[in-house]
Structure 1
Amino acid sequence: MSTTELTTEGFEKAVTDNDIVFVDFWASWCGPCRSFAPVYEKVSEQHEDVVFGKVDTEAQQALAAAAQIQSIPTLMAFREGVMVFRQAGALGEKDFAGLVDAVKGLDMDEVRAEMAKQQGTAQ
């Protein structure tokens, strides 16, 4: 599957309506973003069952602000509507492919239990 351009209007629906969603926050003037783009595209073509979205931080400034993007590229991964990964900086193809496999392999019951435990101790 190739990448999909995400906007403020469609972001939440993309994250909640799909099992696994990766989001690349980028800008055309950003060198590391331009370097990561072909890696992101290539890995996206190897995983038909995953949504790979891109957010142009210049065109979607409100969405970038809501996501608290401080530097780009920033990569996020969502599984069953839960953010399970967030990192600024570009990844190499091998690392990114490994990350996709890791997110696919997550036990979401375990993730939710850990989140509940953390929220319980934070109160």
Structure 2
Amino acid sequence: MTTINLDKHTFQAAIGSSQPLIVDFWAPWCGPCRNFAPVFEAAAEKHTDITFAKVNTEEQQELAAGMNIRSIPTLMVFREQVLLYSQPGALSGSQLEELITQVKAVDMQKVHAELAEQESQQNA
């Protein structure tokens, strides 16, 4: 699978997908972004059970601002509408593979239970 491009109109639907979502926030002028692109594409081809998406921060400034993107590249990982990872900086191929392994191993029932507990404590 190749990567998809997201904008402010498609971002929320992508997060709502049943597949894990890895988003690369990048810009055409960014050297580290260009260097990371082939690593990201290779992972997208290998892991067809994950949606890989890119957000061009130059074209999607409103979305980037809304997601508090302060430096690029920034990777965000969502699973079942939960942000599991958000980190600036390009990863090596092995680092990205390790992140993917960790994301797949997350017990989402436990995560949702913890989030529900936090919410109930805040509302108490």
Q: TM-score, normalised by structure 1?
A: 0.93
TM superposition shift of 1:7: 0.8
Give the CA RMSD over aligned residues.
1.3
User: Where do 1:42-121 residues align within 5 Å?
Assistant: 42-119=42-119
Task: Tell me the distance in 2 between the aligned counterparts of 1:95 and 1:122.
Answer: 35
TM-score, length of structure 2 as denominator length: 0.92
Structure 1: state its 5+ residue gaps: none
Partners of 1:18 and 1:51 within 8 A in 2: no
CA distance, structure 2, for counterparts of residue 121 and residue 33 of structure 1: 40
- Residue pair 1:19, 1:81 contacting (<8 A) in 2 also: no
Give 1:119 shift. Answer: 4.2
Aligned length: 123
Deviation at 1:76, TM superposition (A): 0.3
Q: Which residue identity is paired with 1:100? A: I
> Percent same amino acid among aligned pairs?
48
